[in-house]
Amino acid sequence: MNIPEKMKAAVLFDYNDLRVVEKPVPKPGKDEVLIRVKACAICGTDPKIIAHGWENCPPMGEYILGHEYAGEIAELGEGVTKFKVGDRVAIEPHKGCGHCVNCLRGYYTTCLNYGKLEEGHRHYGFTVNGGYAEYAVCHINCCHRFSEKLSYEDATMLTTAGTALYGIQRAGGIGPGETVAVIGPGPIGLMAVQLARVLGAGKVILVGTRDSRLAIGREVGADVLVNSRNEDAVEAVKRLTDGVMADMVVETSGSAAGGAQALELCKKSGRVALVGIYSEPVTVNLNKVVQWNMQIAGGKAEGEDVLDRLVPLMESGQIKTGPLLTHAFSLDDINEGVRTYKERIGNAIKVVIRP
């Protein structure tokens, strides 16, 4: 593959100052590959980083964001045998140091050496450069191969689905025939609905506040839609479960109301997966967790091997991305893409940048 010296990249020069400029194409080191980026989806954290930066991020003027990307391997670094040039790969942003006790136990998304480059930790698009560029370097631990059955845009959604699946697993999974309530019909919530279906849920209830997004929930497999603006979600779930409530609640909204509601929708000895990012403290009734024997787990990003297991689910169409991928922009128009995502112009759900 012919690799140029220079590439186009969206670089953060200062807070709220993202510019597309020329940069040298990075070189892959040991156990790394160079990826020709084909698609990079805008994540909810990206507009926040553009506005406020990220702790341990590369210096302003050098920092390339983007952590939900997919592309084609263009060059192999030293020692790489697992991949070959031309492979289609999706990346996951977290690479643990590999030697702390959490990494040894498989909890690399909560690596104890977070941000320490000298220890081998990488958080692509956060502490090191990511995918809003024509080329990006990534460690092989974070690359996941997929076939031509998936487009590069589809593959950017693997991390979104991965966050939902990892949270569900951490909270104890979903059993056949169980009732699952998903709070928040955003990208992660709409993936959680589909995963609940795939995992054999008997009834999937989707709770949200926007009818347009709830309607997409129906399209991807929710049985019952509850708009909590018009209807009390607790009463609705009570009615739908004969007062028993949901076996599993997946909270993806990240709102204080959603966080508190998660416990109220859960049945005795039920399970709650928290995967939303809360920007304010949430008041919950912890006594309920004790007395109702609940199991609650937080899920930090897409840990373990969830991405590799999601590839066949997407390739076979059991997990759909189409209804969620609403907008695409070229790299030159990245600022317009970010604005479209942030302001939800044209009911934007997932916005993809194509370098």
On whether the CB atoms of residues 187 and 350 are closer than 8 A, the answer is yes
C-alpha 81/C-alpha 38 separation (Å) is 23
CB 102 to Zn ion: min, Å: 6
Nearest distance from C-beta of residue 348 to Zn ion, angstroms: 16
* Piece of 38-46, 55-63, 248-256, 317-325 that binds Zn ion (CB under 5 A): 38-46
Q: How far apart are CA 180 and CA 187, in angstroms?
A: 17
Which residue's Cβ has the minimum distance to Zn ion?
Answer: 43
Instruction: Give whichever of 110 and 318 is closer to Zn ion, judged by the CB atom.
Output: 110
The minimum distance between CB 128 and Zn ion, in angstroms, equals: 15
Binding flag, residue 307, Zn ion (CB under 5 A): no
**Measured CA distances, 326 to 40, 241, 344 (Å):** 14, 34, 10
Closer residue to Zn ion (CB): 113 or 151: 113
Closest by Cα among 6, 82, 8 to 40: 8
If one asks whether residue 97 binds Zn ion (CB under 5 A), the answer comes out as yes
Contact pattern for Zn ion over residues 171 through 190, marking x by CB under 5 A: --------------------
Binding-site size, Zn ion (CB under 5 A): 7
Q: What is the smallest separation between the CB atom of 206 and Zn ion, expressed in angstroms?
A: 21
Residues 225-284 that bind Zn ion (CB under 5 A): none
**Given the rule CB under 5 A, which of 102-110, 139-147, 214-222, 249-257 is the region that contacts Zn ion?**
102-110
Q: List Cβ neighbours of 32 (8 Å cut-off, separation of 6 or more).
A: 77, 80, 137, 138, 139, 140
Stretch that binds Zn ion, among 50-58, 96-104, 280-288, 302-310 (CB under 5 A): 96-104
Q: Write out the DSSP string of 57-109.
A: PPPTTTB----SEEEEEEEE-TT--S--TT-EEEE-SEE--SSSHHHHTT-GG
The answer to whether 125 contacts Zn ion (rule: CB under 5 A) is no
What is the amino acid identity at position 48? K
| Residue with smaller CB distance to Zn ion, 111 or 351 | 111
Q: Which long-range contacts (CB under 8 A, 24 or more apart) does 287-294 make?
A: 288/263, 289/263, 292/266, 292/267, 292/268, 293/268, 293/269, 294/263, 294/266, 294/268, 294/269, 294/270
Q: Minimum CB separation from Zn ion for residue 272, in Å? A: 22
Q: Toward Zn ion, which CB reaches closer, 122 or 197? A: 122
Binding mask 40-59 for Zn ion (x = CB under 5 A): ---x----------------
**Residue 145 in tokens:** 């191969």
- The DSSP-derived string for 301-318 is SS-TTHHHHHHHHHHTTS
Of 65 and 97, nearer to Zn ion (C-beta) is 97
**Token code pair at residue 314:** 């997407």
Residue with smaller CB distance to Zn ion, 103 or 128: 103
**Angle (nearest 5°) at CA 283 between 233 and 350:** 60
Name the residue type at position 318. Answer: Q
Enter the tokens of residue 119: 């220890």
In this chain, which of 25, 34, 42, 111 binds Zn ion, going by CB under 5 A? 111
Q: Return the residue of 40, 42, 89, 100 that touches Zn ion, per CB under 5 A.
A: 100
- Which pair of structure tokens corresponds to residue 135? 């080329």
Please, what is the minimum distance in Å from the beta carbon of residue 47 to Zn ion?
A: 11
Q: How is residue 299 written in tokens? A: 């899920």
Taking the least distance from each CB to Zn ion, the nearer of 32 and 46 is: 46
| Residue 14, strand partner residues | 17
Binding flags for Zn ion, 56-95, as an x/- string (CB under 5 A): ----------------------------------------
* Interacting residue ranges for Zn ion, rule: CB under 5 A: 43, 96-97, 100, 103, 111, 113
